[in-house]
Structure 1
Amino acid sequence: MTSPRSPQDPSPAPRSSSSVIHGGNREHSPQAPSQPAQSSYLKPRHLVMMALGSAIGTGLFVGTGAAIKTAGPAVLISYLVACTLLVLVMRALGEMAAADPSSGAFSTYAGKAMGPTMGRALGWLWWAQIVVVVAAEATAAAQLVTEMWPGLPQWVWALVFMVAFTVINLVRVGTLGETEFWFALLKVAAVVGFLVVGVLMLLNVLPAPNPGLSNLTEHGGFMPNGLTGVAAALLVVVFAFGGTELVTIAAAETEDPQTNVARAIRTILVRILIFYVGSVTVMVLVLPWNNEGLSSSPFVAVLTEAGIPGADVLMTVVIILALLSALNANIYGSSRMLFSLARRGSAPRALGRTSERGVPRAAVVASVAFGFIAVVLNYVWPETVLNVMLNVIGSTCLVVWGVALVSQIILRRRADRAGVSSPLKMWAFPWLSYFALALLAAIVVLGLLDPSVRLQFIATFVLVCLIALACKLLLRGDDAERPGSGASRDSAAHDDAAPLV
């Protein structure tokens, strides 16, 4: 059944209900220009595992130790708050992605909700963040491999990883999705195995000490560092969740996106809650929060306590796989964002072209360029390059999430006025959307009060302002992206979008 057409829609063909409000169409996908075989699209299992792969990384395997050291057992509160925020943000993003699958995702939605400058600025900000993340992940994986097998210098491993995953991303999206599926599956299996071992320890099945609930109340109590520690840990945890928004970018290249994106969002949120909160619960129950091993390598510390031989080597391999999985997914995400920017006239037009298999190869090459520069940096400064890049990344995920929530509120109100329904809806709208924004605002305030991250927050704010100013001054407007415009844009219209001035 077709829905009413928008009065602003000049095209004679009927449009989907989502297009009335969002202006959505499949042409945002890299697949659209050449319409390759359906088998080249991402499958639902690829979509789920790609999102899990971006969420289950070093933030879980390593970052949890720093959070526990900061907050003690009360880190559980930090994780519950952060997971609540993540659930709400992903639900909001999922609502927009299910209604309007687009390779530009939150950047496209921000442009339609708040104007082209905001959409373009957010897209460039996220792209800049992710290309730095790609370089950082290649560097971190190379560091770990060099520590295990010191035969080759760090820069060689970084080069190997960058070349391998660039090739995978240049072939076709189906190959990329399959690679990411198996990488993510190995990570999920490792976490599930860890949870099983932890439960067996707590049930006295394994011959390991079982302290019961004593570690929650002893060693300074449940909240040894007070609310300040919980707040500081919250910042660590939230940053670990950055990247989960990748699933909304992949939506544009998924079979039956309106159905599968909604299903993937629901599945992902449940699994992230189980994996993150479950793992941290096992850690703080099995070992004292101030255990030295727990703060540096929490998974290894618990497995060693359980008497698992070779736990350190096993988890190092898992962390390397986690980094490579995230590297693969982020090359994909950054290239699709750059492709979308080019198709909207916000990047050189050549970056918006695709191969016969629907792969935006120029955008892939441009997105991995900084990763190859990082290989040179690894050769020159192997000891410091990773820390420098991680500091550059800053807190941009908070900006992306905040703008996404505001966009969802605006677009949802627009849809409700037109009587249009989305396949996936935000719960208790608009109150939970406002609640998520309030949580984000509280995290920003906490960050500004924390000297260790204050400069990072300020640097991110300055970066956002500079990018927005550059987009305003250097890029021409696109009427189809202005608030209230529901005009349909076909592939040719995209190709004729205004280029960089």
Structure 2
Amino acid sequence: MPVVLTGRQMSMVAFGTVISYGLVSGSAFPLLVAGSAAVPAYMAAGLVALLLMVCLGSMVAQRATPGAFGSYAECHLGPATGFLVRAAYLASLVLIIGTEVSLLTPVLAAWLPHANTAAVLSVLLAGLVLVNLGGARTFAHCEVALSAFKILSLIALIALAVYHAAQGFSVQSQSSVGFASSLAEVPFVNIWQAFMLATLGFVGIESLAIVAAETKISADGLRCRLRVTTLAVVGLALAAAASASALVQSGAASLSQPPFGTLLGLAGLPWPNTLFRVLVLVTILSVLNSQIYCASRMLFSMARAGQAPVGLGRTTARGPVRAVMATGALSIVVLLLNTWQAGAAYVAATAIATTGLLFVWLAIFLASARHRMGSKTVHLKSRTQRCIGAIAPTAGALVVVAIAGSTLAIDEFVSTLHIGVPFMLLLWLGYAIFKYLTDSKRSRHRAPANAGRPTATLLVE
């Protein structure tokens, strides 16, 4: 595919996928679960995201491809794992697109109370598909505008939160000792649950590896861009969580409403509810735009690897048009299913997406470990960098396994593996059947070609 994107555009895609509704609303769920302990939980989750990017960096710099971690898994962990990573990632993103767009329902209810919600949401998704059909440049220009708006808005909200939190603390005359004691009172289970939520909130940072295939940048520049962008995303997310926590702890806002939504009213801005709805609209459109791009590239990679219909692997000057159209169509189908069976469809989609994305992260860490074992060149110059590079795959894999196992013991996540694992097994079974049929077809084609030829034994004799 044509290499047309810049490093700045590549970074904006990462902000587009990670800075979602949870952060712009003030990280209400992690704060509700763990209170002020959500801040160290976000710090630990940010460290996991950085470890992931350390692992991806060396592989991406060596070979940037639209299939990214799917191709790396196929190379280092085998064809079956490569298929599972590609298929799980594609399915997860399509399910997220089709369900997350429903977060716009309250916005539409306020602005278009008599409109058919499913029809309007379908039109919005179709509009984003049209943006992606315009090619990588059109997608990138749109994503830069959307991401820049939500980044600047989030920075402004963080500044306002710090200001109002400081005023609240000065009135209450609270000290840092009180904050430390509040941390000690939070049960570890709650902190761990907040850590899980925060880590899942960073899912999407791996999209940098996909965008790298269409980015004009050197290998060293690419590796540096991956790490700098990840640091910036983690820093912004941590600042948002910390400022929202301070706002709630100061008493200036409560968790009965999104903290940052309440903040606009505290600041005395005109039409605070309308402003917050605009921010939510832009944020979700940005996330969906980036996810459609990444999902279409993964589907394109599957087709090129012979794991999807060949037509989806064809590309034009505007990129993999057919893959984009197929991704959009699948996402709209998921949206309609979610509208028809809202509760059951959402639970199943969330469980499958969570399991699939955790599997993708695990595969990235394992592929990185195998990559390091087979790599003949060491790009990490300092001893500290080499140490981090050696520890990152093992540490990251253990964290992902721990998070996956913990879902069985937490009520809010108890259905994750119960639904997600059977889905992964179905994917593996589908691959096994597909491979068997393909191998049988190839063997039948070879048989007539070899008919009448002497066997190797006869030749030797």
- Tell me which interval the TM-score lies in, with the shorter structure as reference length: 0.7 to 0.9
**Which of residues 370, 373, 377 is equivalent to 1:419?**
377
Contact 1:73–1:223, Cα closer than 8 Å, also in 2? no
Q: Which amino acid aligns with 1:432?
A: A
Structure 1: how far apart are the matches of 2:408 and 2:350?
18
Rounded Cα–Cα distance in structure 2 between residues aligned with 1:136 and 1:379 = 9
Question: What secondary structure is seen at the aligned counterpart in 2 of 1:77?
Answer: helix
Deviations 1:319-344 (A, max 9, x none): 11111011111111011001011111
Task: State the distance in 2 between where 1:317 and 1:344 align.
Answer: 41
State how far apart, in whole Å, the 2-side matches of 1:329 and 1:79 are: 23
Give the partner amino acid of 2:306: G
Map 1:169-184; keep pairs closer than 5 Å: 169-184=132-147
Matched AA of 1:114? L
Mean Cα displacement is larger for which, 439-448 or 419-428? Answer: 419-428
The residue number in structure 1 matching 2:36 is 73
Distance 1:216 1:377, change over 3 A: farther
> Partners in 1 of 2:203 and 2:135 — Cα distance?
26
Distance 1:249-1:183 versus aligned 2 partners, 3 A rule = same
In the TM superposition, what is the alpha-carbon distance from 1:237 to its structure 2 partner?
1.5
Corresponding residue for residue 443 of structure 2: none
Q: Which residue of 1 aligns with 2:231?
A: 270
State whether structure 2 residue 393 is matched by structure 1 residue 433: yes
Paired amino acid for 1:419: T
Q: Kindly provide the CA deviation profile for residues 240-282 of structure 1, in whole angstroms up to 9, marking residues without a partner as x.
A: 2222211111110111252443232122222222211111111
Cα offset for 1:402? 0.8
Alpha-carbon distance in structure 1 between the residues aligned to 2:381 and 2:321: 32
Whether the 8 Å contact between 1:145 and 1:320 is mirrored in structure 2 is no
Contact 1:211 1:286 in 2 (8 A): no
| Bigger Rg, structure 1 or 2 | 2
Match of 1:246 among 197, 207, 211: 207
For each residue in 1:151-176, what CA deviation from the matched residue of structure 2 results, as whole angstroms up to 9, or x when unmatched?
A: 42212321221121111111111010
Paired with 1:283 and 1:212, the residues of 2 have a C-alpha distance of 19
Alignment equivalent of 1:301, drawn from 242, 250, 262 = 262
Aligned with residue 47 of structure 1, among 10, 19, 24: 10
Matched length: 437
Give me the whole-angstrom Cα distance separating, in 1, the residues matched to 2:51 and 2:300. 27
CA distance in 2 between counterparts of 1:308 and 1:211 reads: 25
2:370 aligns to what?
A: 410
Report the 3-state secondary structure (helix = DSSP H, G, I; strand = E; otherwise coil) of the residue aligned with 1:474.
helix
Cross-structure match for 2:409? 449
Quick check: 1:462 aligned with 2:419? no
**Structure 1 Cα separation of the partners of residues 403 and 336 of structure 2:** 36
Structure 1 69/290 Cα, relative in aligned 2: closer, same or farther at 3 Å?
farther
CA distance in 1, matches of 2:177, 2:156: 23
Aligned pairs for 1:327-342 (under 5 A) are: 327-342=288-303
Q: Note closer, same or farther for the CA distance 1:372–1:403 as it changes in structure 2 (3 Å cut).
A: same
- How do residues 166-205 of structure 1 correspond to structure 2 at under 5 angstroms? 166-202=129-165, 204=167
CA distance in structure 2 between the partners assigned to 1:395 and 1:437 by the alignment: 14
Residue 77 of structure 1 aligns with an amino acid whose one-letter code is P
Q: Compared with structure 1, are the counterparts of its residues 102 and 406 closer, same or farther at alpha carbon in structure 2 (3 Å cutoff)?
A: same
Distance 2:433 2:47 in 1: 38
- Between the aligned partners of 1:122 and 1:224, the Cα distance in structure 2 is 40
TM-score by length of 2: 0.86
Distance 1:280 1:81 in 2: 13
**Given the superposition, is the C-alpha separation of residues 322 and 158 from structure 1 closer, same or farther in structure 2, using an over 3 Å criterion?**
same
The alpha-carbon distance between structure 1 residues 292 and 464, as it changes in their structure 2 partners (threshold 3 A), is farther
**1:222 match: secondary structure:** helix
State whether structure 2 residue 309 is matched by structure 1 residue 351.
Answer: no
CA contact (8 A) 1:396 1:460 kept: yes
The answer to whether the Cα contact below 8 Å between 1:202 and 1:212 also exists between their aligned partners in 2 is no
| Cα drift, residue 134 of structure 1 | 1.5
Matched-pair contact (CA < 8 Å) for 2:162–2:246: no
SS of aligned partner of 1:119: helix
Deviation for aligned residue 1:287: 2.1
What pairs with 1:110-129 in structure 2 (closer than 5 Å)? 110-129=73-92
Residues 288 and 83 of structure 1: CA distance in aligned 2, closer, same or farther (over 3 Å): same
Rounded to whole Å, the distance in 2 between the matches of 1:262 and 1:467 is 32
The structural deviation recorded for 1:102 is 0.8
After superposition, the C-alpha distances for 1:23-48 in whole angstroms (9 at most, x for unaligned) are: xxxxxxx33xxxxxx6xx11111100
**1:346 CA displacement:** 1.0
Match of residue 363 from structure 1: 323
1:471 aligned onto 2:452: no
Q: Which amino acid aligns with 1:87?
A: L
The whole-number CA distance in structure 1 between the counterparts of 2:129 and 2:41 is 36
> Partners of 2:370 and 2:238 in 1: how far apart?
32
Q: Residues 433 and 390 (structure 1 numbering): CA distance in 2 closer, same or farther, change over 3 Å?
A: closer
Q: What are the superposed Cα offsets for residues 373-420 of structure 1, whole Å, 9 maximum, x if unpaired?
A: 2454466457876566434423322111111001001012211xx236
Residue 202 to residue 64, structure 1, CA distance change in 2 (3 Å): closer
Query: Any conservation in 1 of the 2:55–2:392 contact (CA below 8 Å)?
Result: no
Q: Which residue of 1 aligns with 2:24?
A: 61
Match in the other structure for 1:398: 358
Three-state SS of the structure 2 residue aligned to 1:70 is helix
Listed as ranges, the gaps of 5+ residues in structure 2 are 440-461
Does the 8 Å contact 2:165/2:250 carry over to 1? no
SS at match of 2:322: helix
Report how far residue 429 of structure 1 moved.
Answer: 2.6
AA of the residue aligned to 1:328: N
Offset at residue 292 of structure 1 (A): 7.5
Report % sequence identity: 23
Q: Which moved more, 1:153-162 or 1:102-111?
A: 153-162
Normalised to the residue count of structure 1, the TM-score between the two structures is 0.80
Which has a greater percent of helix?
Answer: 2
CA–CA separation in structure 2 for the residues paired with 1:336 and 1:401: 18
CA distance in 1: counterparts of 2:398 and 2:284, whole angstroms: 32
Measured against aligned partners, the alpha-carbon deviations of 1:281-328 in whole angstroms (never above 9, x if no partner) come to 112222238988435412113343444443332222111111101111
For residue 352 of structure 1, what is the amino acid of its counterpart? Answer: G
Give the corresponding residue for 1:5.
none
In the TM superposition, residue 187 of structure 1 has moved relative to its aligned partner by 0.8
3-state SS, counterpart of residue 110 of structure 2: helix
SS at 1:101 equivalent: coil
